[in-house]
Amino acid sequence: MFRTDLTARALYAEGAGIARCWPAAVAVPAEADDVGVLAAWAKRTGAALIPRGSGSGMAAGAIGPGVVVDLSRLNAIGVVEVEARRMRVGTGALRGAIDTAARARGLRFP
């Protein structure tokens, strides 16, 4: 689940802004349970976890010297409850995909 090679670290050393900070490692969980395993490991070891979505933020919130956790694989769009006006999406789901799923059911994502 962890990658510490230079290529992986370089890919996650910056976001959309100009800031740059090499992470110690990169983790790309395949399912939600993997995030729990990472969180438990971080608690035991004191490691910093840095959650990352698409890396499009300009404020450098998705980069840092800890372990970058790329959540993009957790992008499932599940149940859309039209009457309740809510939907279940994975933490890595992109805004465009969420809006498309909502519009397909007559809803709109802001």
Domain boundaries, the chain: 2-70, 75-110
Q: Please tell me the predicted confidence (pLDDT) of residue 11.
A: 83
Residue 9: predicted pLDDT? 85
Which residue, chain included where needed, has tokens 């800031």? 19
pLDDT of 60 reads 43
State the pairing for strand pair 77-81/86-89.
Answer: antiparallel
- According to CATH, the topology of domain 2-70 is 3.30.43
Which pLDDT score is estimated for 69? Answer: 94
Given a contact cutoff of 8 angstroms between Cβ atoms, the answer to whether 77 and 89 are in contact is yes
* pTM, entire model: 0.79
Segments in the chain below pLDDT 50: 58-60
Q: What is the C-alpha to C-alpha distance for residues 68 and 89, in angstroms, rounded to an integer?
A: 21
Contacts by 60-63 with C-beta closer than 8 Å and gap 24+? 60/15, 60/17, 60/19, 60/21, 61/15, 62/15, 63/12, 63/13, 63/14, 63/15, 63/19, 63/20, 63/21, 63/23
